[in-house]
């Protein structure tokens, strides 16, 4: 157990971040490495994984490596689990299709959304986190500070305001909210069946500014108490907190990090 002076220290712990080479995943991995964690980066591109891992080592002096994995393949999660040959203390289930992932039949008007896109998103956004948690539970349970952190969304907590998208090329897939809501309930479930050895929590990001249509951004900011969209850096604190002993009596929770969006 950490002393009050180093509650946030992750030195001596190893974290796996799925989707770790992406815009959010790479920042979450950096936040963990900044607290001393060794980090395993999992993503589709081998080159991107290695580049992110090398950056973590250079900036923070931690051990970091990349593992190329496609979690949509039938044995994708198994291959990733088998590639982790050492201890594991932290699992961050971040890999997911978002509203801008470009999947056909996904982020389009409701009447154009397809069953195939819904199933594809369900496989990556919900099945993969379940599968990794199930397969990695024995390894995590051997840790003195095991923590699973799932990435949900405000749209796993509240329904979308479709007026935000009027007159834009953007869309809000039903599969996204359904799977992110599933993550909230999966988090509760896992927190009970994996207790007391493994804590399981989630955080729900608000909209992240990534060059969206200006009309969307203006509407979104007006409906957000803090008056702006998020940046990836806004999630550094919550992932470090949930991974560390600073949150050692917290499990089964989904923390909204949304600038107050879900308060209204």
Exposed, middle or buried, 17 (CB in 10 Å: 0-12/13-18/19+)?
buried
Which sequence positions are flagged as catalytic? 176
The three-state (H, E, C) secondary structure of 114-167, written as one string: CHHHHHHHHHHHHHHHHHHHHHHHHHHHCCCCEEEEEECCHHHCCCCCHHHHCC
Residues with Cβ within 8 Å of residue 178, at least 6 apart in sequence = 118, 122
* Chain-centroid distance, C-alpha 234: 13
Q: How many CB atoms lie within 10 A of CB 155?
A: 24
């Amino acid at each position: 157990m950490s002393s009050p002076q180093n509650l946030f220290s992750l030195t001596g712990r190893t974290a796996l971040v799925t989707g770790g080479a992406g815009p959010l995943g790479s920042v979450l991995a950096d936040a963990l490495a900044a607290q001393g964690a060794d980090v395993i980066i999992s993503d589709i591109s081998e080159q991107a994984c290695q580049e992110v891992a090398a950056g973590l080592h250079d900036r923070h002096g931690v051990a970091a490596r990349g593992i190329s994995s496609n979690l949509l393949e039938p044995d994708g999660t198994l291959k990733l689990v088998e590639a982790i040959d050492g201890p594991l203390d932290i699992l961050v289930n971040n890999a997911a299709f978002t509203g801008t992932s470009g999947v056909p039949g996904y982020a389009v008007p409701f009447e154009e959304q397809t069953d195939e896109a819904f199933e594809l998103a369900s496989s990556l956004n919900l099945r993969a986190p379940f599968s990794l948690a199930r397969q990695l539970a024995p390894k995590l349970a051997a840790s003195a500070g095991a923590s699973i952190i799932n990435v949900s969304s405000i749209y796993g907590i509240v329904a979308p305001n479709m007026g935000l998208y009027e007159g834009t090329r953007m869309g809000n897939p039903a599969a996204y909210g359904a799977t992110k809501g599933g993550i909230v309930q999966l988090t509760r479930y896992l927190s009970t069946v994996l207790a007391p050895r493994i804590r399981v929590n989630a955080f729900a990001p608000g909209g992240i500014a990534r060059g969206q249509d200006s009309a969307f951004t203006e509407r979104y900011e007006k409906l957000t108490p803090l008056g702006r969209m998020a940046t990836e850096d806004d999630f550094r604190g919550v992932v470090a907190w949930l991974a560390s002993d600073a949150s050692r009596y917290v499990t089964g929770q989904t923390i909204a990090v949304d600038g107050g969006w879900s308060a209204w």
